[in-house]
Structure 1
Amino acid sequence: MQFGIFTVGDVTPDPTTGTTPTENERIRATVAIAKKAEEVGLDVFATGEHHNPPFVPSSPTTLLGYIAAQTERLILSTSTTLITTNDPVKIAEDFSVLQHLSGGRCDVMLGRGNTGPVYPWFGQDIRKAVPLTVEHYGLLRRLWREKVVDWSGQFRSPLQGFTLAPQPLDGVPPFVWHGSIRTPEIAELAAFHGDGFFANHIFWPASHTKRLVQLYRQRFEHYGHGSADQAIVGLGGQVFMRRNSQDAVDEFRPYFNKAPVYGYGPTLEEFTSQTPLTVGSPQQVIDKTLGFREYAGDYQRQLFLIDHAGLPLKTVLEQLDLLGEEVLPVLRREFRVGRPDHVPDAPTHQSLVAAAREQTP
């Protein structure tokens, strides 16, 4: 099982000091966080994609390529690549280049995006988000798998005799996760293609995540990719830790109360009781995370959000130390207990290349 972190890249004032990082400081802090993630033994670093303030990751593959040059083992991913408003040709090119630069240490998570104004900025209509997703992804798959592509569709100009350059590393495209917060059509799309499904999981109760994951697993089996428990599932989550749980609650409360995503709503206690957000001791994080398996089954990737809401870099790096030293070893051990042998690990470039060679006559 893979463990890692993801960032949304928000530039948010620290409510305890009133200090707001510059965009430059936030981008460089993100690089430092990724490097620290590798240092403490995590497997994955993922960045979101946003094109509006107060966010900075408008060019995820640029950021990930820079991080790739300064890491050796870390899998580099996105926590959203906007399949709706990006040109599939550019996505295919960018991630093929990232594959080559990172030695295959990358995959991609596709999402629709839920910021309405972004769609017209890129010439699209948010009311067409689902059909845009289906059409654009259909083209993206062909660009990564066919030497010459002739194509026509509804939402972009036709392609005639197009050849992707560079081709995917070793002839194998990056593994694709389809990320969703609430949309069953995305679970269906992931299942149809036998791709991974990532339930964002940080805003909703367990019952909601359970329904989406069960739908994906059932449809994965329906389409003949394997049994339902062999489907490739990832989950998000958010944690804030101190060795003393009350210290964690007291320190995190002002950040939670003014967080741009979920502040000014339910109390911290209400939110932690109803969603996967865990604020407390490392043991509390361990216990709650292990409980995800009760409704998601044996899954392949767990990503945590730890740098949101104006938390200073020093605090985030401390969180990573706790995650690597006290939480990660226990999660790795306990998630192996009772895991059936036929449940696959998360795909990597190496495993995908090996599978492709097995299928080659």
Structure 2
Amino acid sequence: MLLGGGDMKDTGIEIGLYTLADICPDPHTGNAVSASQRMKEIVEAAKLADEAGLDVFGVGEHHRLDYAVSSPAVVLASIAQVTKRIKLTSATTVLSTVDPVRLFEDFATLDLLSDGRAEIIAGRGAFIESFPLFGYNTNNYDALFSEHMDLLLKLNKNATVSWEGQFRPSLRDAEIAPRPLQQEIPIWTGVGGTPESAIRAGKLGTGIALAILGGDPIRFKPLVDLYRKAGIEAGHSEEKLKVGVTGHGFLAATTQEAKQQFYPYYSNYWYHVNKQRGGLTFRMSEAEFEQMTRPETALFVGSPQQIAEKIVQQHELFGHQRFMAQIDIGGLPFNKVAEGIELLATKVAPIVRKQTSK
């Protein structure tokens, strides 16, 4: 069992992890783990994170053979049985191509199984495989998201729902079961960088989870400001308007060690993601990686002290309530993921919680 940072969990921002369950060949060996092994490692990572005192664990959704998870609720239900207190969220649910009733019932079930720890981060998704798979048209990419979010929020508030929309059959006094243990399941909107998404999340009163994968994080400050302004103008309280920051990360004893160890995996990760999305398939150079990991950037690669400083600097910018790192990418072996979880929980979290509770 890892040493816990749990005694400090009630102060400062929430700190957690998320995984997209990519199945990449290890750049050193050329071998990839099986989907079965990947899922077992994800459950084990969540168990370690829970024991170490981290606050939240997220599981992403993809519908392709080079990712292990297409059903976050099922994987999170498995995680719920081996964890005690860590919050469990999708990261993210592709809301445009899932029936909101089915989604809500799955996460209400998860909420009951986990004693009230379920959350949903809903987004439009960076991949589009799920559209033809479930009979949706990519021409309705945004309209589907808006309609499904509208219905999801109604389902969250009401046990009996009447509703009409364009893309799914109407509901007439429909009983929505089961009801979650929580009064409402916390719902967040995943925001990649568009002002429209931030404003919409504010108007709806959902949290926002910002995907900040590189560059100078200050460029996201206008989005947070737009989100809070739209939310307050729509009548939502400041307490309800929660901001989360998500990003890629890797921790080692020193920043130089972290860079040396992580570069092959991070270069590998982007090579495969760009290939999957039909983009350029060149390999990231070490010089490019060095630029991406500078102290003022949003890539969380370094010593625990440097990672803590980056999180705190971003907190000064955004005043966010949650930070989540993706640390298991590009074929990284599980022993390295486990080391990262321990460092995040025992070395980074105490500093960040102390600094952000002031």
TM-score (norm 2): 0.89
Matches for 1:116-127 after TM superposition, within 5 Å:
116-127=128-139
Give 1:189 shift. 2.2
Contact 1:234–1:302 (8 Å) recurs in 2 = yes
Contact 1:7–1:306 (8 Å) recurs in 2 = yes
Contact 1:181–1:199 (8 Å) recurs in 2 = yes
Residue 120 of structure 1 aligns with an amino acid whose one-letter code is: P
Q: Looking at both structures, which has the greater relative contact order when contacts are Cα pairs under 8 Å and sequence separation is at least 6?
A: 2
Residue 202 of structure 2 aligns with an amino acid whose one-letter code is: A
Q: Residue 331 of structure 1 aligns with which residue?
A: 352
Q: Which moved more, 1:136-145 or 1:13-22?
A: 136-145
Q: Residue 316 of structure 2 aligns with which residue?
A: 294
Aligned counterpart for 2:298 among listed residues 276, 285, 300: 276
Q: Residue 221 of structure 2 aligns with which residue?
A: 210
Q: Which moved more, 1:6-15 or 1:137-146?
A: 137-146
Q: Residue 28 of structure 1 aligns with which residue?
A: 40
Q: Residue 6 of structure 2 aligns with which residue?
A: none
Structure 2 CA distance for aligned equivalents of residues 185 and 129 of structure 1:
14
Give 1:265 shift. 4.3
Contact 2:215–2:299 (8 Å) recurs in 1 = no
1:161 partner SS: strand
Matches for 1:238-253 after TM superposition, within 5 Å:
238-253=248-263
Q: Residue 189 of structure 1 aligns with which residue?
A: 200
Give 1:300 shift. 0.6
Structure 1 CA distance for aligned equivalents of residues 251 and 257 of structure 2:
8
Is 1:232 the counterpart of 2:242? The answer is: yes
Contact 2:76–2:88 (8 Å) recurs in 1 = yes
TM-score (norm 1): 0.88
Structure 2: give runs of 5+ residues left out of the alignment: 1-12, 275-281
Structure 2 CA distance for aligned equivalents of residues 309 and 22 of structure 1:
14
1:156 partner SS: coil
Contact 1:178–1:190 (8 Å) recurs in 2 = yes
Contact 1:239–1:304 (8 Å) recurs in 2 = yes
Give 1:272 shift. 2.1
Structure 1 CA distance for aligned equivalents of residues 86 and 94 of structure 2:
22
1:84 partner SS: helix
Q: Residue 29 of structure 2 aligns with which residue?
A: 17
Contact 1:144–1:164 (8 Å) recurs in 2 = no
Residue 286 of structure 1 aligns with an amino acid whose one-letter code is: A
Structure 1 CA distance for aligned equivalents of residues 123 and 199 of structure 2:
13
Residue 202 of structure 1 aligns with an amino acid whose one-letter code is: L
Is 1:176 the counterpart of 2:192? The answer is: no
Structure 2 CA distance for aligned equivalents of residues 249 and 8 of structure 1:
22
Is 1:220 the counterpart of 2:231? The answer is: yes
Give 1:65 shift. 0.6
Q: Residue 264 of structure 1 aligns with which residue?
A: 283
Contact 2:63–2:129 (8 Å) recurs in 1 = no
Structure 1 CA distance for aligned equivalents of residues 351 and 156 of structure 2:
38
Structure 2 CA distance for aligned equivalents of residues 257 and 76 of structure 1:
29
Q: Residue 264 of structure 2 aligns with which residue?
A: 254
Is 1:91 the counterpart of 2:78? The answer is: no
Aligned counterpart for 1:309 among listed residues 303, 315, 330: 330
Q: Residue 69 of structure 1 aligns with which residue?
A: 81
Give 1:204 shift. 5.0
Residue 291 of structure 1 aligns with an amino acid whose one-letter code is: Q
Identity of counterpart residues, as a percentage? 37
Structure 1 CA distance for aligned equivalents of residues 245 and 230 of structure 2:
18
Closer, same or farther in 2 for the Cα pair 1:155/1:208, shift >3 Å? farther
Contact 1:199–1:212 (8 Å) recurs in 2 = no
Give 1:184 shift. 2.4
Structure 1: give runs of 5+ residues left out of the alignment: 338-361
Contact 1:202–1:275 (8 Å) recurs in 2 = no
